[in-house]
Each structure stands twice: as C-alpha cells, then as structure tokens.
Amino acid sequence: MSNPGNLNPNMLALQNSMNRFRIMAIWCGVMSLLLWFVNVPTHYLFLKSYHHYFTWIALVHGFTYPIYVLAAFHYSLKARKSFTSTILFILAGTLPIASFFAERKAQADFRAITK
C-alpha cells in the first residue's frame, strides 16, 4: 500500500482508521434512516401487510452496527479521543443522522491534525 503524502506510520494508521470510520458512519447512518423511517413505520403504524418486505433492514443494521462500533472505537483510540468522545462516537450510530455529524467531526479533526 502506498503512503499518500509521505505520512509517518502513526498518521497513516490514523488516516486508515478514520477512513474505515467514515465508511461505516455513512453506512450506519443510511441503515439507521431506513430502520427508523421505513422498517419501524411499516411494522407499527401502517402497511403492516407489507412489513415482510422490509425485515432485511433490521437484520442488516443489526449485523453491521457492531462493525461500526469497532470502527468508531478504533478511530477514537488512534485519534486519542477522550472517553466521553469515544462513547458519543459509538452512540452516534443509534440515531438516524447522528453518525453523519460524527463522520464530519472526525474528518474536521483529522484535517486539523494533518495541517
């Protein structure tokens, strides 16, 4: 793997963990939006007869959320975030758009570090 911008190994590890976190934050955000605004309403509010078409959303979200948690924890470890920040990054995957904000925050922090 090439070393973009000739970063030192610690910065390269931080960049790689940040990239993994960004991918998982976007994925988890999209799946959370689908879960909250497609799966749950069809199950509890309306179109109950069509809910079986959307059960895959809960399954995919349930299987990929632990991967998001690991990516958030790994990024927080590499970026030397506080315990509170780490918990907030992890919990951001539970709310529909919070992981998008966490991803933006992580990207802004990384840019500030690398300048």
**Tens digits of residue pLDDT in 67-111:** 999 999 999 999 999 999 999 999 998 888 999 999 999 999 988
Q: At residue 42, does pLDDT exceed 80?
A: yes
Residue 3: inside a domain: no
Query: Between 7 and 71, where is the model more confident?
Result: 71
d(CA 86, CA 72) in angstroms, rounded, equals 7
Residue 89: inside a domain: yes
d(CA 24, CA 20) in angstroms, rounded, equals 6
Residue 86: inside a domain: yes
pTM of the model: 0.84
User: For position 65, what pLDDT does the model report?
Assistant: 93
d(CA 46, CA 19) in angstroms, rounded, equals 38
As to burial, measured by CB atoms within 10 angstroms (0-12 exposed, 13-18 middle, 19+ buried), residue 68 is buried
User: For position 103, what pLDDT does the model report?
Assistant: 93
**Number of folded domains that form the chain:** 1
Q: Give the domain range for residue 101.
A: 9-114
Residue 21: inside a domain: yes
Residue 34: inside a domain: yes
Residue 2: inside a domain: no
